Structures are given as structure tokens and as C-alpha cells.
Amino acid sequence: MMRQYELVERVTSYDPDANEDLLNRAYVYAMRAHGHQKRASGEAYFNHPLEVAAILTELKLDDATIAAALLHDVVEDTAATRQEIEEKFGHEIAELVDGLTKIKRLDLVTKEATQAENLRKLLVAISKDVRVLLVKLADRLHNMRTLEHVPPEKRLRIAQETMDIYAPLAGRMGMQNVRDELEDIAFKVLNPDAYATVKKRLDRLHEESGGALLEIEKALQAKFTENGIDAEVSGREKKAYSIWRKMERKHLSLGQLSDIFGFRVIVPSIEQCYLALGVVHRTWRAVPGRFKDYISTPKQNDYRSLHTTVIGPHHMRVEMQIRTRDMHEIAERGVAAHALYKDVTDPRKAMNGARVPAAESNAYRWLRHLVEMLSEGESPKEFLEHTKLELFHDQVFCFTPKGQLIALPKGATPIDFAYAVHTSIGDSCVGCRINGRHKPLATELENGDEVDIIRSEAQVPPAAWEGLAVTGKARSAIRRATRAAVRRQYAGLGREILDRLLAKSGKSLSENTLQAATPKLGHRNVEDALAAIGRGELAASDMLKAMGIEVKEAGARKKRSAAARPKSESEEGVPVRGAARGTALAISLETGAVPGERIVGILTPGQGITVYPIFAKALEKFDAEPERWIDLTWDAAAEDQRFPARIKVTIHNEVGALAQVAQTIGESGGNIDELQMVTRGVARDFFDLDILLEVHDLKHLNEIMAGLRARPLVSAIERATG
């Protein structure tokens, strides 16, 4: 266990002005508070906050953060209170400890809605003060290092949470070393066989290539010295999880990986970074397409470096990173390297020596932007989708015509680009030019593309764009715009219904009267009330009564039916319950629907309700529009009718197969309304039949399908899901 004076010496070694008294008091208080508590490993519990503090000294954090690390578990696990912490250590440290206490209670691998809400709380807590995140990451890192002492079930949950949330957060904060170690330990727990295989391969490669690596390192150092470049060269080996992820992403085997080893070159200045790159490329052949300049175009987490891959001695493919010492500090320590909370002595920047934050890093700015998204009222599912997209995607960098840099996830389209610039630009986008040439909006953007968005104020983003967009911001904005457009359509229909009813009474619609009546019916504004009338949720006659206008009920009902109902395809109609009177109903012919199975309706303004079985895939595209869903049930009158049901049948390509299918359906009392036959495969051994049947109910349909399965020339049969 690290002693008190050793911890203080660690902090003062990089921060001579650190408050030693604060550190000493926090050390003693935490040690006494945890007393004789033990961890799962059997060691004294106080060793855990001490190790967390030690990890943070490696990141060179300020004295307040180290003190908070020592105290981070006392409120949760001992008799200490937040008020007591504030009295003894001040408001700043009490706030940090309180934020960490709240985070500790969150479960980030629960069911989706709860996980999203807990993730919101986590991000809000760390956005208030980035040091909360730094302590939490150090806390998680030490817990992962001692994970073998935790019961297996809990171990898996912690490892999954680390892989899903904390490792990506560390990466987005630029703390690559922390991310690598978290991912590697989690990988070992979640997929032990894969970890063992990759580790074994790495160890063997290290034995086989150790001499060659030393030779390359010496050759590099000699070349730099020869060219007057003061460079520090060191070799490095990729982590097991990093290799595994690359194998999965690029569908490679272990034997196909040739860039497992790399070298880091640290030079005094940016100019020497490019000079060193020139020396490397003149000495060894560069691998095409593997050069990246993150100095001129930094990553969003502030990472800067030159990356290149060359074919070195012994025909080994070698990755190289070239950077300055300052760039290396940020690459290693991420947001912690920005010293956000150092004392500022410049009187123009601080009054009376007050502690103020330094310039905000891009990584932390990203976090604040993410938290700002919470205020837009997204559903838990949308928020979780957006956050995970932001955390996990690699990036491409594109430019506006004026030279503004826009960072997007890989696979992003001009639609994502437009919404990244501004939501209004995305909503009004009708086309784009990429590098001066007109391109489809579905085009995948590449690094360095210049994108010019073509706009029209009359444009409303179609719902189909959601399938083209990659970023959560674009998807959620498209959903909002689509919902708003549908709402406006319903409101227009509702206004038309009211106008017609009033016209019959010889009266006109008064906006003031309408606005005064809206709250009486429980709606926030006029548009909501009119949309409810258009959807059939609110009777127009009820609105008129709230406005103090009397209209005969029968006439109102008749008029509403005439105004709201499009012409039905069948005079007989679909016998279901749950739809408003006079609403046109039609069964989806993509799947059909029959009595005996659960059904739902999708309302389309001006067209009526389309009936789907609950398993229809077509329903997925309406997930973001719950206001269009109508809960329906079959009516007793359904017994005397026939209903459509689509089935898929695979038959052998033999004489009489089609006749067997038709005969079975006919003998069972079914009727074939449509039939399409498609050849399957080059060999033409099978045919796929798409059949639209007319049956009485689910029992009748099952009898027909059972009869078809019994036929020797029928290979497979299933219900069409759309």
C-alpha cells in the first residue's frame, strides 16, 4: 500500500504548488472512514481509492482531483455524508464526490429504456466537471485490474458495461492508454478463448520478430541522426482486442495481419515531424493509402500525429506515428493533458488568484454538445442510438465550400453533413455537390470531400432519409420533421372538418374562439387540438361545444364522415373494431391479415387505415410515429367473409409440383387470388411461389399450409411477413 508521503511526493513532483495539507487530510480521512472494510480480494478497502489516486497522478491531475479520488467511495460505503465532506474539504471537492456517488448507483447494462436514462444521468454528471469522468475512469480501471476476485456473473456485467460505455468514453476523451487497457481486460473476460488465441499468436510473433524490431528501431534512429533530426524512437505492440477488432472489421485471419508492430517517433517541432516523415519515405517504400495527417486535421478528441505504414527490413510491414512531445502528452493523457483546472496567475484572467478553467478541449466540447442534445426531448431509444453512434464510429473529415471542417462518422452521407452544419440546412436539403459535381444524397462521403448542400425552403425531409442517415443527430431531426409534417396534415384535415360543420350552421371559424376552447379539451395549443380531430381522437362536435356553438349531432357525424373518409375499395368494408366510424379500412396485401391473429392499423391522412398482422415487417418503418398506430380487433361479423393471406412456398422443379399446390388449396376450400413463380438459383432445382390466398380465418389458413407441407414436392412453406 502506498504511504501518505509517497502520494504527496507524486503530486508535488509535477505540481510543486499542490496543497499538501489537503492531500494529507483527505488520505487520513478516507483511511479512517473505510476502517476495517475489505474488498472481494480480501485486501483493505482503502487500497482501492489509494490506487485510483495513484492512477490519476500518472495523468498529472490537480490536488483537488486526487483528494476527490481518495474520498470517492466514502459517502456511498461509509457513514460519511456529503455535508461533512463539504465542511471538511470545501464545496469543490464535495461536488466531485457527489457526482461520483451518483454515477456509482447507475446500472448501464439494464434494459434499453433504463439504460438510456442512466446514460443520460452519467453524461450530465460528467459534463458539469470533466474531473468527475477522470476519477470514474481511474476507478473503473482499478476495478477491472482486480476483476478476477468478483463473482463470474457480476464480472461479465462489469466487463460488458466497460466495453459498451467506459472504454469508448475514454477514447473520445483522448485517453487512449486507458481505453486500450479497459478494452483488453474486458475482452479477456467476455471472450476468453479469442483472447487466449490472439495473445498466444502475439507472444509467438514477439519471439520470432524481436531481433528484427530492434534492428528497425536502430536503423530509424541512425537515419534521423544522419539527417540532423533529434528524434526519440520506441517500438510498441498492438493490444489483443485491437487486433481482434481489426480481424472482425476487415474479415482477416491472424496469419493475414502484418502490421501488429509499430514505432512511435517523437521530435521537437511540427517542422521536424514532416522532415522525419520524408526520411522514412525515402528510406523505405510507403504502403499506398496508409498515410494520414492528423496534424493538419486533428481528430475530435484533439489527437494529432502523422501516421504512415512502410515496408521495412525483412519485408515487415511497419506502422509509424510521428508527433511532437506536446502531441504525445495529449495522445497519452487526452483531456487530462489540457490542465483544465490549473491555478491561473495572470491578473487579466483571474481575480484574486481564483481558480478558473483553461480553454476547453475539443473532446470536452463534444461531451457538452452531447448533453445539449438531451434538452431536445428525444425518446430514450433515440438518445441511446445517438450516443452509441457518437461513441463508436471512426471518422471522416469533410469541408464546407467556405472551408469549415465537419467531422462525421464513417459511412456518413451528405444528409448527415447537412444536419451537422445546422438542422435547418438538413431540413431544407434537396441535393448536393461533392467536389463540384452533382451526386446522389446517398453517396458515402470520404476524407477531404468538399460538400455543397443545395437547399429549398419548400422542402420537407422524407421519412426514407432516416435509412440513409448515419448520425443520431440527422436521424432524430428527420423523425422530428416527419412527425411535424404528419401533424400539420392532421391539423389541416381537422380544420377542414370544423369548417364544413360550421358552414352547415352558417357560421365561420373564429381563431380567438378556437384558441380559447383548446385548453378546455386538454390540449396545449390549437394545432394539437386540430390534429386530434384529424386523427379521429377528438370529435369535431366536442370542439364546437367547447367553442359554445351548437350543431346537431347527427348532422355533425354525417358531415365528419363525409369529410374524413376517402372512398373505400370495398363497399362491404373490413369487419374490425377500434377504428373511428366512417374511416376507410383496407388490409395490406404485402402480408394479408385473417381473423384469429392480432392486428393493428396504420392511419394515413386522407387515405384511411391499413390493417397489418402484428408480425408484419412493414410496421417497423412506423416505429417513430406512434400517433399513427390504431389498436384493432376482429369483429364477430368476420365469420362470413374471406380474407387475404400471402404465403411463400418453395417447390421442387418437377412435373406436377404446381398442380399439387393448386389442388391442395382448392380441396381445402381456399382460393388463389395471385400467384407469382420465381426460379431459385442457377441450377433451377427449385421454384419460389408467392401466393395471395383468400381464406376464412387463421384456422383455415393453417389447414391449407399443413396440407401443402404434407405434399412430397413442397420443400418449404411460410407466412409472408412483408
Residues belonging to the active site: 76-77
Q: Is the dihedral of CA 73, 74, 78, 80 positive or negative?
A: negative
Give residue for cell 429549398: 456
Helix (H) or strand (E) holding 669: none
In which residue are the cell numbers 525515402 written? 282
Contact (Cβ atoms closer than 8 angstroms) between residue 376 and residue 111: no
CB atoms within 10 A of CB 489: 16
CB 297 within 8 A of CB 448: no
Cβ(510)–Cβ(500) below 8 Å: no
Strand 317-324 to strand 261-267: parallel, antiparallel, or no bridges (unpaired)?
parallel
What is the secondary structure of 239-284 as a DSSP string? -HHHHHHHHHHHT--GGG----EEEEEEESSHHHHHHHHHHHHHHS
Cell of 158: 462489469
Cβ 273 vs Cβ 323: under 8 Å: yes
Strand partners, 634: 576
Element (H, E) at 404: none
Whether residue 158 contacts residue 150, with contact meaning beta carbons closer than 8 Å, is answered with yes
**In 3-state terms, what secondary structure has residue 465?**
helix
Q: What contacts 678, CB < 8 A, 6 or more positions away?
A: 687, 688, 689, 690
* Burial zone of 612 (CB within 10 Å; 0-12 exposed, 13-18 middle, 19+ buried): buried
Nearest one of 362, 451, 316, 449 to 174, comparing CA atoms: 362
CA distance 418 to 434: 12
Phi and psi of 50, rounded to 5°?
Answer: -65, -40
Pairing of strands 608-613, 585-587: parallel
Q: Comparing C-alpha atoms, which of 154, 187, 182 is closest to residue 168?
A: 182
End-to-end CA distance of the chain: 64
Spatial separation of the C-alpha atoms in residues 409 and 300, rounded to whole Å: 11
Q: Quickly tell me which residue has 448533453 as its cell.
A: 371
